[in-house]
Structure 1
Amino acid sequence: MPSRRALLYRLATLTGAAGLSGCSNFLARRAESPTADLPPNPHAGDLPQRQFAWNDGLRTDSDGNSLSPEHFRLLLLNLDTDPSEEAARTVELAMRTLEDAFEFRSDGLLHMLGWGTAYFERLGRLGDSPIRHPTVVSRTDDPELLSYDAILVLASDVPSQLEAAESAMFGTRSSLGGVTVEQRLGDAFTLADRRTGFLGEGLPAQHANAEGVPNDIPDDAPNFTGFFSGRTGTQASEERVTISDGRYAGGTTMHLSHLRESLDNWWAMPEADRVTQMFSSEFSPEDVAGNGPIDFADAVTEHAQETGRVGHWEKVARARKDDEPLLLRRDFNSVDGGHAAVQFLSVQRTLDDFVETRDAMNGWWLQDEHPDIQDERHNGILEFIEVLSRANFYVPPRDRRAFPDA
């Protein structure tokens, strides 16, 4: 198997041929100095090597569920410069500024820097990378298929810290959490788009003025559909989603979908019907009250035949390996654009895992079981969502987050 040095020299030749000015020399030198001659990260011993390993920094509830950060900001980025040692130094030092300023936990600041399909195309390596351009994976949607160079994911229970972090990285803020800002991501990237949102009891009700959100949404609803989505057993482990070998080992793939929600009809249904469509006809509202674990029988086909209606989670529960889900979700509610939405952010070992999970959610095979089940009608939550866009990214390990593969 070729060494990393040999692969990097080969990549230098390929990208030089592709016309990236100055890139080939940079890539060759990175074979000797992968960290762009910077000293070791002073926080390396305190932070997980996997950027997406947030679980140890999350709060937990009385049922032992990990609770997502309450506020999110996704900054979608276009690269303004060719890969170089100077650009790598800028990116790495900017990320270290975030680590200096806040604890890596939900009451501080959780973050990860991912690299998109446009970046790997710049390098001439998209075909060899663990990601690919997004595709349409539902016959009921026509999403915009997006390509970016990078994404910065920020999350915190303290919304002001997200605003401060963005200003430090892409604005003029001179200090962050008492730390002087000397390098900014804005020196290497242009901010192409921003996604924002929230997750947690009481927060959806604060946005009842958005299109698609009824005014009488319960005050304690954790998300726009009213149900807690982070129950034990519904998330893949951080180990499960980690790429285990090869040049991208220790990283993961990331998918981002923008899903518009239309929930007036959802909340007009009796609670028992909402439970059936979200979970399964085998459960009552009392069964799903609270945040405790729920065990799904593998009976979605029987439920389709008997009731003409199937639930979202009983379909998705079929997409498992070794009795574990394939996706680790970091999704959240959003009112970007003035309408109710979900920014569906997930990490998974391969993008095929995402496609397999979405295929299970589509439930097309169940339409043969009962005439009432259609592409969207009586088919989980598909009637209430529309996919507006999709994008894919690779999240490298922390020590390779500045220009991976370069």
Structure 2
Amino acid sequence: MTRRYTPTRRRFLKAAVAVGGTAGLSACLDMTDEPVPEGVDDPSTLPARQHAWRESMATDEHGNPVLPRHHTFLYVDLDESGEPSDETRQRVEDALSLLDRAYERSSAGLLYSVGYTPAYFERYGTTPESVDLPAPRRLSDFEDPDFHTQDALLHLASDRADVVLEAEEALFGDGETANGIEAVAFPGTVEDRRTGFIGEGMPAERADEVDGIPEDADVPEAAKLFMGFNAGFRGNQATEAYVTIDDGPFAGGTTKHVVTLQQRLDRWYGDNDHDSMVKKLFSTRKVGDIEGVGANVGDDSGVVPEDFENLIEEANDHGAIGHAQKMAAANRDEEGNIRTVRRHVESTDSGVASLHFPSLQQEISTFEEIREAMNAADVVSETPAIRQRVNNGILRYIFVKDRGNFLVPSREQRALPRPDGSV
């Protein structure tokens, strides 16, 4: 069944998620009367990969995966110091199993994953075996981010605002039940909480609520993101199997990098007409090919080897270089396969236009290589018109606020994994 969101309803639900807690949940429940699909009696029957969401999400008319509309990112520290006890590990499993039993694994119910930081594994005095999981670091000369060093990240997502709020309250608040099932508290404290959203009409509706977007900006009603274009095309995403760790004690898991970007969309809408936006966001060769928010491209943005094989020549000819164009080569392996899955969502946390950008890949170094390509240092050194943040994709319009690296283990290992992967 398709839920129709009026502008007033969408605004209200977004505000409820941002507020959180019992107040947000109570307000949200007052507007919601449809039952939430229930989960499973036996959580072991669910997919082995926590990060395998795609089969549980809807798709659009082109087969592109449609992310759930509402997201919360809960950065959690365990209440217990040192190596977690078996009792604490069981409490984590019980809490996560509650979510599995309470909510169907779908956008209509709840999709979620839990990942662990390098700082968590420092409790054992080592790193997870055979996993590329370094501490987060600066990935350009012009950023100065904070780093997430909490123990874990719990990412909750649903088309239902009341579901993400109720799940959070059941784990970390005063909630007594989750979809009618008795709540089980997670043995930790939420040290940082972020919220996100994505969906047609949602950015346009929120454009006048936040700093960083001019009052006269024409954010298209059809756009899913503040910059006025769609993203997440199936042809530009890796398969979930590709980003899954193949071997070692954490086979079946993946790594996750999450960066929060503050957006300066007054500049974006002030500097650029539609063609300039296409040139800087997609590619110098895509001008004239992408209509409106990009719905006409189908399931692929259309960036091809010709777009990125001669970047310096393209930059000299056009006086700019595209965001997707710069990174396309680094985000493909020798066989041409895309290397990452991106699940970015907008945010109005603290009244500022922002973007939470989770990326999944087998190794964190893969993300770092692609991010290095985004800097386009070779083009900057050879092309006078291209500077570190000027005419260089979208770098002029985004500012890194924080970064974090996480191991998202398999479902079997999700409850406080040991560095050797044993359970």
Q: Same fold (TM over 0.5)?
A: yes
Q: CA deviation at 1:61?
A: 0.5
Show the counterpart of 1:404: 417
- 1:327 paired with 2:340, answer yes
Letter in 2 for 1:308: G
1:74-105 deviations in Å (ceiling 9; x for gaps): 10001111411211111001101101111111
- 1:376 paired with 2:379, answer no
Show the counterpart of 1:21: none
Whole-Å Cα distance in 2 between the matches of residues 354 and 152 of structure 1?
Answer: 20
1:304-361 deviations in Å (ceiling 9; x for gaps): 1211210001111111112122211121101112111111111110001100110111
Whole-Å Cα distance in 2 between the matches of residues 285 and 317 of structure 1?
Answer: 20
Show the counterpart of 2:66: 67
SS at match of 1:50: coil
Whole-Å Cα distance in 2 between the matches of residues 371 and 242 of structure 1?
Answer: 41
Whole-Å Cα distance in 1 between the matches of residues 199 and 288 of structure 2?
Answer: 20
RMSD after superposition: 1.6
Report the TM-score when normalising by structure 1. Answer: 0.86
Is contact 1:130-1:248 (8 Å) kept?
Answer: no
1:338-397 deviations in Å (ceiling 9; x for gaps): 111111111110001100110111111112342000111001000000101111111110
SS at match of 1:233: helix
Is contact 2:71-2:197 (8 Å) kept?
Answer: yes
SS at match of 1:325: coil
- 1:343 paired with 2:356, answer yes
Q: In structure 2, which of residues 161, 173, 176 is the aligned counterpart of residue 174 of structure 1?
A: 176
1:233-244 correspondence runs (5 A)? 233-244=235-246
Show the counterpart of 2:162: 160
1:279-298 correspondence runs (5 A)? 279-288=282-291, 289-290=294-295, 291-292=297-298, 293-298=300-305
Is contact 1:326-1:357 (8 Å) kept?
Answer: no
Letter in 2 for 1:159: A
Is contact 2:227-2:265 (8 Å) kept?
Answer: yes
Show the counterpart of 2:79: 80
Change in CA separation of 1:100 and 1:285 when aligned onto 2, cut-off 3 Å? farther
Unaligned runs of 5+ in 1: 1-39
SS at match of 1:264: helix
SS at match of 2:116: strand
Unaligned runs of 5+ in 2: 1-39
Show the counterpart of 2:97: 96
- 1:362 paired with 2:375, answer yes
Whole-Å Cα distance in 1 between the matches of residues 228 and 237 of structure 2?
Answer: 19
SS at match of 2:43: coil
Overall identity of the aligned pairs, in %:
38
Whole-Å Cα distance in 2 between the matches of residues 400 and 281 of structure 1?
Answer: 45
Of 277-286 and 97-106, the range deviating more from structure 2? 277-286
Q: CA deviation at 1:247?
A: 1.2
Q: CA deviation at 1:127?
A: 7.0
Show the counterpart of 2:9: none
Letter in 1 for 2:302: D
SS at match of 2:236: coil
Aligned residues: 363
Whole-Å Cα distance in 1 between the matches of residues 227 and 260 of structure 2?
Answer: 16
Whole-Å Cα distance in 1 between the matches of residues 289 and 177 of structure 2?
Answer: 50
Of 322-331 and 193-202, the range deviating more from structure 2? 322-331
Show the counterpart of 1:211: 211
Whole-Å Cα distance in 1 between the matches of residues 383 and 408 of structure 2?
Answer: 42
Q: CA deviation at 1:109?
A: 0.3
Report the TM-score when normalising by structure 2. Answer: 0.83
Whole-Å Cα distance in 1 between the matches of residues 385 and 320 of structure 2?
Answer: 7
Letter in 1 for 2:352: H
- 1:313 paired with 2:324, answer yes
Is contact 1:308-1:378 (8 Å) kept?
Answer: yes
Is contact 1:233-1:324 (8 Å) kept?
Answer: no
Of 103-112 and 289-298, the range deviating more from structure 2? 289-298
SS at match of 1:287: coil
Letter in 1 for 2:336: D
SS at match of 1:218: coil
Change in CA separation of 1:104 and 1:130 when aligned onto 2, cut-off 3 Å? same
Show the counterpart of 1:199: 198
SS at match of 1:256: strand
Letter in 2 for 1:381: I
Is contact 2:280-2:394 (8 Å) kept?
Answer: yes
Letter in 1 for 2:322: G
SS at match of 1:190: strand
- 1:253 paired with 2:255, answer yes
Q: CA deviation at 1:286?
A: 4.3
Whole-Å Cα distance in 1 between the matches of residues 235 and 378 of structure 2?
Answer: 24
